[in-house]
């Protein structure tokens, strides 16, 4: 944190009951919005005020400590990518010779699009609320101070802004060189204007209250590379009155004029901008609206939709896309998007999907040019990793999934060339021994695990299957057959060559004995360090077995019990008998919050460990339980007809909702790593929309198939306003006098839906309302009910 480049503004304002700021408090404007109060024990942990251009990260107590590891200590504060604007700010009250700093809030309340810190200053008989929100599409943030006075005091209110104009991660690759910040106070506008000496990077801040006294900058502190300045005025707090001060912070990485224009815009229009943002979030909540008996899941699902919007990052000169997580991954990733965007589409946030795909495709082609999909790119356009191997096949699956939802053939045409090049690259450049299993790092970024990884193999099989559907849709029928044949070969080979009867699990990887022995030595050190004696014993036995029975050729190894061994069930390639065994094995590597990233990190107390995750001082995922492995497990259980087990995992993951940050789910369960993470939506939206409610979109043919597999405890459930192409579909499940009822509504009459009910479970199927056709084919395992009506009710016994 650039402590030598901090600039302070101190504003002390004279006010009376009629003069000053607009008298509309944020609390009145958003009184009917959902909110969640945080826990006192987590006041000294991060929150985010989200925006697509600017966002702010600080602590829930109102302070701005050094945060993050990607740029050490710099990931908090106020960011306007690709630059940082400020380390944060402080607000102080000065009265009766005392200075009271508002950095230790009594409570924190989170809203979908704003936050509130509450300070109860009993010694002054004053309560203060600090609110903030970021207007959509603006390079600025609004902070509102609401002072509720129960006595009468003359106080000074001091706002201290700490500028830190500096580049994003990898800024040096695009010649973004940081230098000293210099500030000038603009008497006419009543604002501080700060500029980086060598760059056209600017931040501006001020207040909406005019100054009653002559204002003179006061030098508080001289530092080597920066300056701290102050302006002081007096505010008289009238008895039983509420006083409002609005502060505005704006920035630009192009010009001072740009920053000033933003400042004027938000200072003049912030009420309308807050109202607009509130309405937009109400629309997000309306789409794919879930109602289920598990109210914790229902609430978490609603807020995950808000979390998704928090992560949209726009840098006009580069593009728009979803960031992976806050605070350390605010930029763009390949694989994080490939998981998350499937969920984004299911919750109706289509624009973020299209823009992210466009960005990833264009940059991947510019950097790689061979169909390989990048892994990570900073907001200045610098790519740090050209792509792990799994990201290329997962891209094909993402494109096909989005097409099923939107039915846009031009969308397929635009991105199929990248898919074709990528699959060719996988099977030529990355499959050295020609056995159809590409070599290289997959999701597990463990040193040495870059041979033939199970997740790379599984996602490659799924990619060829999905690419065959794309080729067929585009009329490339010979290629479609070739791709489909490849997927069939891969499915057979994975089930034969990756499976371990001894462990009832798919192997972590296929490699040489030498590779395995090196990994075992590292894994023993890891397990011993984490005090996992069972894992040490197992690894030593595996090592002994390898040495006694050496193999001259590569073979499968189960070493780490990494979560990726479950990807064959996630993509549905596992044979049913193997799937049941593997899913049972996976149950060993969980705790009350979900699935361990690396199974050997599990200990015997995992089943009862409800406490905070004790991460290392240097950021690490060692010992972690994460939302992505848990989400993959939910999808996997549903794929093999086990919705109750899928719900069990979803409940585990939901236990982490609001655990530390109210309204959010951490990346590492329950309270470590990113405070919100994009791929969380994969573990909620995909299983709820596509599996529990069974929505299988086919927008190209104006058709929706509904194959529900509800958890047994969900007697009443609904999913409303699901956007599929130009249609909106709502589904309602209920029980009435022992009969199961399904009501389907759709907004278009030129669409057809098919409800599929299991032949082994459903009987006495009849239409209660609307017209429909019942198809009873004894060769099928399900009944099909077809209709094109806007409103249909079907009843049956189960």
Cα-Cα-Cα-Cα torsion 475, 481, 487, 492, nearest 10 degrees, comes to 160
The string of pLDDT tens digits covering residues 574-620 is: 999 999 999 999 999 999 999 999 999 986 545 444 555 555 555 56
- Residue 752 reports pLDDT greater than 60: yes
- Residue 347 reports pLDDT greater than 90: yes
Supply the pLDDT for residue 615.
Answer: 54
What's phi and psi for 64, nearest 5 deg? -130, 75
Which residues neighbour 184 within 8 Å (Cβ) at sequence distance 6 or greater?
192, 193, 194
| 14-18, 106-110, 478-482, 686-690: the lowest-pLDDT one | 14-18
Supply the pLDDT for residue 616.
Answer: 52
The string of pLDDT tens digits covering residues 67-79 is: 999 999 999 999 9
Average pLDDT over residues 360-389: 98
| Pick from 326, 327, 359, 328: nearest CA to 341 | 359
For residues 109 and 118, the answer to whether their CB atoms sit within 8 Å is yes
Tell me how far CA of residue 684 lies from CA of 180, 301, 630, 635, 638, in angstroms: 46, 7, 10, 9, 12
- Residue 419 reports pLDDT greater than 60: yes
Grouping H, G, I as helix, E, B as strand and the rest as coil, residue 62 is coil
Supply the pLDDT for residue 154.
Answer: 75
Tokens 């056209």 sit at which residue?
Answer: 200
d(CA 408, CA 3): 51
Which residues neighbour 454 within 8 Å (Cβ) at sequence distance 6 or greater?
442, 494, 498, 506, 507, 508, 509, 564, 565, 567, 568
Supply the pLDDT for residue 232.
Answer: 52
Using 50, 70 and 90 to split pLDDT, how confident is the model at 82? very high
Average pLDDT over residues 84-88: 95
The string of pLDDT tens digits covering residues 436-461 is: 999 999 999 777 788 899 999 999 99
- Residue 566 reports pLDDT greater than 60: yes
| Pick from 52, 556, 592, 586: nearest CA to 351 | 52
Supply the pLDDT for residue 609.
Answer: 46
Supply the pLDDT for residue 226.
Answer: 31
For residues 189 and 179, the answer to whether their CB atoms sit within 8 Å is no
For residues 709 and 333, the answer to whether their CB atoms sit within 8 Å is no
Average pLDDT over residues 313-321: 98
Supply the pLDDT for residue 234.
Answer: 58
Which residues neighbour 250 within 8 Å (Cβ) at sequence distance 6 or greater?
138, 139, 140, 203, 204, 205, 259, 260, 262, 263, 266
Grouping H, G, I as helix, E, B as strand and the rest as coil, residue 603 is coil
| 209-223, 334-348, 658-672: the lowest-pLDDT one | 209-223
d(CA 156, CA 154): 7
Average pLDDT over residues 726-741: 95
- Residue 239 reports pLDDT greater than 70: yes
d(CA 740, CA 734): 6
| Pick from 712, 701, 710: nearest CA to 742 | 710
Average pLDDT over residues 267-282: 98
Supply the pLDDT for residue 156.
Answer: 82
- Residue 213 reports pLDDT greater than 50: no
Tell me the pLDDT of the chain averaged across its residues. Answer: 91
Supply the pLDDT for residue 458.
Answer: 98
The string of pLDDT tens digits covering residues 617-666 is: 555 678 899 999 999 999 999 999 999 999 999 999 999 999 999 999 99
Tell me how far CA of residue 43 lies from CA of 74, 521, 614, 616, in angstroms: 20, 41, 18, 21
Average pLDDT over residues 361-384: 98
DSSP secondary structure string for all residues of 657-674: TTSSSTT---SBTTTBS-
Q: What percent of the chain has pLDDT over 90?
A: 82
């Amino acid at each position: 944190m650039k402590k030598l480049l901090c600039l302070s503004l101190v504003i002390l304002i004279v006010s009376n009951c009629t003069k000053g700021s607009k008298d509309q408090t944020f609390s009145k404007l958003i009184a009917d919005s959902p909110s969640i109060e945080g826990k006192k024990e987590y006041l000294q942990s991060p929150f985010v005020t989200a925006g697509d251009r600017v966002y702010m990260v600080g602590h829930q107590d109102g302070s701005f400590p050094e945060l993050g590891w990607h740029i050490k200590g710099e990931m908090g504060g106020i960011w306007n990518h690709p630059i940082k604007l400020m380390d944060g700010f402080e607000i102080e009250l000065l009265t009766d010779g005392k200075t009271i700093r508002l950095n230790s809030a009594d409570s924190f309340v989170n809203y979908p699009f704003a936050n509130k810190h509450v300070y109860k200053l009993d010694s002054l008989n004053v309560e203060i609320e600090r609110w903030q929100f970021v207007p959509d599409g603006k390079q600025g943030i609004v902070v509102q101070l609401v002072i509720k006075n129960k006595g009468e005091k003359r106080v000074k209110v001091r706002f201290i802004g700490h500028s830190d104009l500096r580049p994003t991660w990898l800024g040096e690759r695009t010649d973004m060189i940081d230098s000293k910040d210099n500030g000038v106070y603009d008497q006419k506008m009543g604002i501080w204007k700060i500029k980086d000496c060598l760059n056209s990077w600017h931040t501006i801040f001020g207040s909406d209250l005019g100054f009653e006294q002559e204002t003179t900058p006061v030098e508080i502190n001289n530092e080597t590379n920066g300056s701290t300045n102050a302006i002081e005025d007096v505010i008289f707090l009238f008895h039983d009155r509420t006083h409002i001060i609005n502060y505005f912070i704006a920035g630009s990485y192009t010009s001072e004029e740009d920053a000033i224009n933003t400042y004027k815009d938000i200072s003049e229009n912030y009420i309308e901008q807050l109202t607009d943002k509130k309405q937009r979030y109400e629309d997000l909540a309306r789409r794919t609206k879930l109602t289920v008996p598990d109210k914790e899941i229902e609430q978490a699902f609603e807020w995950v939709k808000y979390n998704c919007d928090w992560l949209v990052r726009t840098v006009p000169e580069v593009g728009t896309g979803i960031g992976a997580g806050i605070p350390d991954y605010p930029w763009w990733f390949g694989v994080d998007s490939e998981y998350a965007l499937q969920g984004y589409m299911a919750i109706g946030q289509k624009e973020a999907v299209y823009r992210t795909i466009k960005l990833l495709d264009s940059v991947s082609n510019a950097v790689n040019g061979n169909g390989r999909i990048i892994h990570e790119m900073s907001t200045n356009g610098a790519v740090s990793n050209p792509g792990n191997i799994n990201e290329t096949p997962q891209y094909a699956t993402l494109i096909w999934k989005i097409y099923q939802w939107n039915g846009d053939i031009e969308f397929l045409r635009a991105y199929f060339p990248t898919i074709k090049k990528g699959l060719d690259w996988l099977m030529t450049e990355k499959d050295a021994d020609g056995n159809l299993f590409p070599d290289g790092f997959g999701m597990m970024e463990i040193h040495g695990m870059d041979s033939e990884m199970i997740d790379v193999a599984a996602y490659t099989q799924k990619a060829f299957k999905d690419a065959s559907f794309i080729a067929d849709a585009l009329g490339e029928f010979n290629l479609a057959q070739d791709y489909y044949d490849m997927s069939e070969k891969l499915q057979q080979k994975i089930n034969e060559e990756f499976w371990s009867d001894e462990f009832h699990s798919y192997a972590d990887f296929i490699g040489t004995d030498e590779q395995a022995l090196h990994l075992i030595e590292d894994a023993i050190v890891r397990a011993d360090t984490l005090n996992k004696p069972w894992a040490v014993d197992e690894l030593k036995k595996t090592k002994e077995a390898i040495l006694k029975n050496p193999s001259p050729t590569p073979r499968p190894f189960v070493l780490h019990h990494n979560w990726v061994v479950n990807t064959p069930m996630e993509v549905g390639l596992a044979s049913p008998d193997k799937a049941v065994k593997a899913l049972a094995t996976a149950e060993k590597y969980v705790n009350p919050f979900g699935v361990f990233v690396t199974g050997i990190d599990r200990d015997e107390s995992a089943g009862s460990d409800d406490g905070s995750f004790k991460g290392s001082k240097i950021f690490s995922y060692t010992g972690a339980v994460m939302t992505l492995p848990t989400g993959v497990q939910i999808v996997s259980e549903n794929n093999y007809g086990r919705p109750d087990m899928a719900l069990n995992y979803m409940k585990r993951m939901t236990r982490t909702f609001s655990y530390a940050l109210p309204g959010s789910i951490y990346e590492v369960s329950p309270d470590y790593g990113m405070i919100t993470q994009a791929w969380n939506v994969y573990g909620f939206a995909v299983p709820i929309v596509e599996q529990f409610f069974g929505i299988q979109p086919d927008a190209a043919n104006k058709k929706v198939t509904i194959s529900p597999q509800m958890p047994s405890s969900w007697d009443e459930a609904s999913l409303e306003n699901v956007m599929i192409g130009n249609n909106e579909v709502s589904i309602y499940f209920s029980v009435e006098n022992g009969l199961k009822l399904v009501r389907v509504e759709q907004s278009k009459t030129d669409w057809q839906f098919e409800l599929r009910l299991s032949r082994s479970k459903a009987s006495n199927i009849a239409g209660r309302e609307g017209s429909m056709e019942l198809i009873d084919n004894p060769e099928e395992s399900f009944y099909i009910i077809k209709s094109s009506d806007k409103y249909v009710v079907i009843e049956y016994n189960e």
